[in-house]
Structure 1
Amino acid sequence: MFLKKDKILNHELKKTRESFFSKIKNLFLKKSKIDINVIDHIEEVLLSADIGTKTTIKIINNLETRIRKEKYKDSKEIYNILKEEIGNIFLDVENICLEKKIEKRNKKPYVILVVGVNGVGKTTTIGKLAFFLKKKGFHTVIGAADTFRAAAIDQLEIWANKAGVPLIKQHIHADPASVAYDTLQSAKYKKKDVVLIDTAGRLQNRISLMEELSKISRVMKKIIPDSPHEIILILDATTGQNAFEQVKKFTSFVKISSIILTKIEGTAKGGVVIGIMDQFKIPIQYLGIGEQLQDIKVFDGKKFIDNFFEYR
């Protein structure tokens, strides 16, 4: 039996909904009229959801201002205002889907650099994204430029084979920039549509990682002058505020175009999505929602919010 997309999303985000948004929902359902303490309760729930202090304060201030200005007292009205204020955070971030950006580019290939710390599901996500793009009709190739770990190359090869997408690789400790160069050269010659370049995730050594990414970019420009066209950051949703810190560190030395959030189905910390989009204005392109090849879905901010703010 197949479920509709909104029901599938509802199921996948169950833990986040029950731990965070249901607290807000229950708070309002128990009150027909709003008392002076309700704002404090809302603030507590927002903070407990890993939204982050700055974004929580912003939401609360906007909520208080509108309540005073518009004289709202009914719980359902204020519930809807809260939904609207959180929804506005998503509307403020321009999110052009990756497929459209690939189609819009006249010259091939569209080069995507994939970054993220070890353990966030980067290798798995690259395999899923390659499969997703292949299903959309894009001829894709993967470059195994994370040469720091032998396991990274081997795992990526397994996922590339599963996706039915070619992989360009060298040996462990090979120059990552050399792998990227070979991948782009091959992709350009074979007229591939998309290149996905994996990179090492040694964030604890930020200086060497920054230098490595800079070198990869410089070498790729020798083949395709305006590459990379996209830098995607992979984040593990289960890490909550730690994911927020990873965005902060990566954006300090590289321009992140978009985010893929993994393991969303196994976390109660989905509120970090709201904080990241508010503080960094970086769109979330996809959600990783399982371990299977097809377990990647386009992120829809409106559906994300509607899923939790269904007033009953």
Structure 2
Amino acid sequence: MDWKAEISAAARRTAGHVQVTPVMTTQGFGLSFPVEMKLEHMQHTGSFKARGAFNTLLASDVPAAGVVAASGGNHGAAAAYAARALGHPAKIFVPEIAGPSKIALIRNIGADLAVVPGEYANALMLARQHEADTGAMQIHAYDAPLTVAGQGTCFAEWDAQGLEADTVLIAVGGGGLIAGALAWWQGARKVVAVEPETSCALHAALAAGGPVDVDVSGIAANALGARRIGEICFRLAQGAVTSVLVPDAAIAEAQRRLWSERRVLVEPAGATALAALMSGAYRPESGERVAVLVCGGNIAPDPFAE
């Protein structure tokens, strides 16, 4: 697949439907070097997921039955938002661990929402059954070419905004976001995959030589808690990423410091990439320029929920 062409087409297709999110270079967080950041938590519905959702819908003939998606929360909100914006009905399945703030976000968008006991994998199973029963179009959260190309627009946009970093750290759940980065940069920048110690599907797959099921838990599980890495991500990541793990305590500290030092309020997943730098899980070489992608801002509990 010509990923550069697919991502460029996705950027043209989604222009005007997604936000151009801001970037900044800052120093702090106990680090001795500056960090470039892209604030993708300021995207529609609070995460990068709107890019893949809009690209999928705009590139497809959506049936009368509408769309269906399974999600840990952020993808469901993005799919529901994109469907509403484009005039399609949406059925969203989320696991209980999505949490009240993300569930409320999806419900407020107006989608037909089903909250499923257990993990994301359970929601995906029911979403696939709904697809088979109704003919609705599945918008996969991460393991589909249109999703990956949509997420890749984030990195094409960042390049256009003047990204200088040699190395970009990206939090990983199912792998759609980092797959978009790898598909766009194709070795032009070093990409570091950052996962929680207790939700590490990509790290486990790289060690095993292929995608494997993992147990998921921890403070970022409702965003980074995929049980199995996507096939597209794994193929792109083999031999192309540095993989590091961070503990929940480091994620929570990065989340706290983003707020206390820069008034950037994010969910744990949104602080996971920075946590790798703050904790020393990834240590840049002397002179190495680094950047982090701040991927999600749907914090629980929502401090402004009524």
TM-score band (shorter)? 0.3 to 0.5
TM normalised by structure 1 equals 0.33
Structure with more contact order per residue of length (Cα contacts < 8 Å, sep ≥ 6) = 1
Between Structure 1 and Structure 2, the one with more helix by share is 1
